[in-house]
Every structure is written in structure tokens, then in C-alpha cells.
Structure 1
Amino acid sequence: MKSGLHYSLLLVGVVGLFLFTGCHDEDGHYVDRTPPRAPQGVFSVTGDEQVDLYWLENCEPDLAGYRVYWNDEPTGYFHYMATTSNTFYTDTDVSNGMTYYYAVSAFDRSGNESELSEEDVRDTPRPEGFNLVLYDYNGPSSSLSGYDFSSYERQYYASVLTDIYYGYVGGEYVMFAWNPVPEWPTTDIQDAGYRELHELDWAPPDGWADNYKAALIEGHSYYVWTRTDNYAKFYVSHVEPGFVIIDWAYQTDEGNQELMKKLRTVKGDASGDPARFAQTGGTKK
């Protein structure tokens, strides 16, 4: 009795699985109607006028590729952007300071397309620079000792445009956050320690130096919060009494603390989303 019941349940399960995963056409040929699983682990890496997207590889044997979508809002209609067989994609059709939202779907050789990925992937590209030389403000090149992140230009250290400037003071290498007018909001600086520049993804809300300066150490990275409420970061690749060499990045979107976006959190249950999306786009709730 138990064995017969087991056989019946097994038969029902197999038939149900068969009906769920596909069907036959008029000629009796099996037709696959089962879409792949939505891509998992989608995240972005912020660049200068570009956004790099990455995700985990799907394991379906009939997988054909992935479609990448974007939107200017976290929910609603996502626009088709590209098709790829890779687990990464670089969006170069972006502007620094603008925020973009991304999602990825998978499709198989039968044309079945998955739901959009569930991760809330948001990114705001920002400018960056490398091997910037700032000279000691006490030396003959004081006109090149300061830097204005908003114009990407070196400045005289005491200029009202200057955000930071370098000085060799009392045997120490120092970067000053310049605050020329007492009534203005301040520019702040913070030492992030021995970290690569790409590791500084979000500017912190606190921990800023009380004296608006930071001792410079080769291999250290630093945060800057400008008086215009923009965030920046820089990495010290070399420093000596006469000058310092830094790499930097600056967020042009006012108040946005994003400097290098990485893995984002999952939005939650997407079971209410449509099961399939046309190549022209899809809706994400």
C-alpha cells in the first residue's frame, strides 16, 4: 500500500513538473516555456563618466545570455540597454553627477527571459584624476599648492576657490582644508588610513579633523567634505618637502556621499513582478 502510494505521488509529481516546465506544439514537439532564474549578486563600480556592472553567472544549461536595463528611478519602467554573454557590462553613456539605476535579466536559447534582478543597484558617476602634483605653499610654486575639485584646477593656496592645499610645516607633511571666510561653511578633511582609493566608497558622516588639517602619509587615503557640500577623496602616492603627488575623485552631485559604489542590498520580494520582459524594457516594483 505504501509503495503504491509512493509510486502514485511520484507519477503525479513528474507529470506536474512536465506540465510546468514546458508543453508540446501541434506537431508534438516539446516547447520550453521556463525562463532562467533572475541574475543574482548584481553590483556596480563607480567610474569617471562610466559605470561598471557585475553579477553572478547563471547555471542553466540552456542559458543564452543577459540583458541589461536602466532607469532614472529605482522603480517603474526599466529601459533596455544591451545584450551580453558576459557577467559584466560597462555603461559609458552616462554623465558625471547624474544617478542611474540598473537591473539585469537572463534569457535562454528558447527566448524565455527571467524577471529583472532584485538588487537595488544605484550609481552616480564622478570625475577622477591621477598623479596630481601640489607644491609646498611656503615655496616658490605656491600658486600651484592648492586644488579646487569643482574646476579640476590647481590654485594659489589662499584663493577663495581652493578646497585643499599642501604644506611642509615644522618637519611634517600636511594637507590643509582651506576655509578663507569665517562666515562660510567649512571644508573638512579626514584621514582614512592605509587604504587604496577604490576602497573609499562612501564619505563618513563624522570623524572630521577639528583643526581642518591632516598629516600626509604615503599609502594613506583621505576624505574631503567641501564647503559646497560636495565630497571628494585622495590617495597619497608620494610626498616629500617640496611637493605631494595624489590621485583623487570628486562627487559633483551636491550632498551625495557616493565615491565608489560597490555591492548594493536586495530590495526584497519581487514575486509580484511580471515573469517576462520584452527586449524593449521591463517594470520593477
Structure 2
Amino acid sequence: MKTITFIGNGNMALSIAKGLRHNYKIEVAGRDIEKLNKFESELSVTIEKALMDDFNIEGKTVMFCVKPANVEEVAVKLKGKARVVYSVLAGTKVQKLKQHLNSDAVVRSMPNLAASVGRSMTTLTGDEAFKEEAEELLGAIGTTLWLGSEKELDIATALAGSGPAYLCLISEALADGAVKQGMKRADAMAAMRGLFGGFGELIQEIHPAILKDGVMSPGGTTAAGYGALENGNVRASCIDAIEKAYKKATEL
């Protein structure tokens, strides 16, 4: 069984590790042994744990999961030359990663938190020689999409990487709307979850505009609700959200 070495033990590292734990040995290097122990407990499998200072990455397949602002600080703690570094850092360019990390190759990846349940939408770009391996490795946590440029990956970060947060806002607001009209909270949440579960399957095969037209009958309930969303500039706000998140990614 191959070993994947995580540098960093935050939420994204844990989500990815949950998706990989049955097919790979997990090694994690962090700053605090208590947090590493908690990581292991939440992962529910035995892992190799190490402190980051003077940690040897020689020949290893590394999943780099620190904060973008901490690249230089963490890089100086590592020794040896990695076989390949898979970075999940938003907005951090391949050139910067190669400048600070000693590695034969670098691949940028942008998973999302659905990695923990094997349903991440993970976008990838970087050294083409590792495209097939990257798709296989990150394919263990969901769907992958190799992109032709770092600009596209930064845009995808705003869409698929940050997207779960946007959908959380929408799902909570829809449930709140049902409660406002008199539905019990538990029932509203159950209905909302059923909605998202079914829609997630449909959207894989059918264009959203076609789905919408199939639901919206003339002068009906859907048309009334849809009109309210348009009046509230929900469409424009979603477009603006991608723009703002993409610009932020390029600033990191």
C-alpha cells in the first residue's frame, strides 16, 4: 500500500485523508502532537505522525495542506527532495511552490470538503507527467478535472472549491423560507436535504436551464418563486461571488 504524506493537519487535510485512508497509508507532519493525535482519532485509522521541524520528505508523495501565507515558513522546516508535491493551497502558483519546496514535480489541486465522503469535485493542473497519477490519487475522493492553466484552476477554486459554502447559504435560506411560512424546522431541513440529494443526481446529465424549464409551468408556483429570486438579483450575486473569489485567489 502506497504512503501519502500530509504536510499540515487542518480541515482540508482531514477531508482528503478520510477519502484516501482505505487505499493508502497516511503519514502526517504538523506543528502540535496533540492536534496530530486528534487528527488520527477523527480519521479512525492508525497513522504515522511527526512534528514538522526537520521533517524528511525525501522521495515521498506529499500532500501540501498548509495556509498559503505559511509556505515559506513551513518549507524551511522540511529536508530532502520530494518525489512529487500535490498542493491544495488556493492561489499559490506552481512557480512559487517550486521555488520554496524541493520536489521533482508539483501539481496544484483544489478539492472541496466533500472529499470526506468521496464526492469532491477536484480540479488539477501542473506537471503533465503526473496527470494520470494525480487523477488516480485524487479520484479516490471524488471526481477530477485536469485543467490547462493555473488561471482556470483559480477560477475553478472560486466555483468548485468555495462552492459548498455558497450552497450552504442557499440551502439554509430555503429551509428558513419554509419555516417562515409555517413548516417545522426538522421537516424543512429534511425536505431541503432531499431536494439537494435528488438535484445533485439530475444535474449530472441535464443542463440546468432545461431542468428549470421542466419544473416551471406557466403562472405556477415555481414561476412565482423564481421571479422572486430574479428580483433579488440572486443570479447576479452568484456571478459576482465567482468574480470576487477568483480575484481573491489571485491575491493570495
Q: TM-score, normalization: structure 2? A: 0.23
RCO (CA 8 Å, sep 6+): is it higher in 1 or 2? 1
| Larger helix percent | 2
Greater fraction strand:
1
| TM-score scaled by length of structure 1 | 0.21
Greater C-alpha Rg: 1
